[in-house]
Amino acid sequence: MSEALINRLVEFAESGNQQKIVLNGQTHQGWIMEISDDALLISTGFADKTGKDIWIQFSDLNQAELFFWDNKTDQWLEFKI
């Protein structure tokens, strides 16, 4: 994947307190834990018992909506890649 895309995804991961990815009608809310050459890992839920780690392929991000929680405004803000 392009270096520019990876840099934008790092910026997304560092934005706000949490990140939210809406993909195919499902919402994944949590923290971006890792970015590989072709996917990102979001850890959802709270604590080990309820949380799940989900890999999302970069190719799927074209269909996804990305948001981050902005503590200054206390709302989800959209993030454009």
Note the pLDDT of residue 75: 96
Q: Which amino acid is at 15?
A: S
**DSSP state letter for 73:** T
CA distance 48 to 51: 5
pLDDT tens, per residue, the chain with 81 residues: 688 988 999 999 999 899 999 999 999 999 999 999 899 999 997 655 677 899 999 999 999 999 999 999 999 999 998
Other Cβ atoms less than 10 A from the Cβ of 5: the count is 13
Confidence (pTM): 0.88
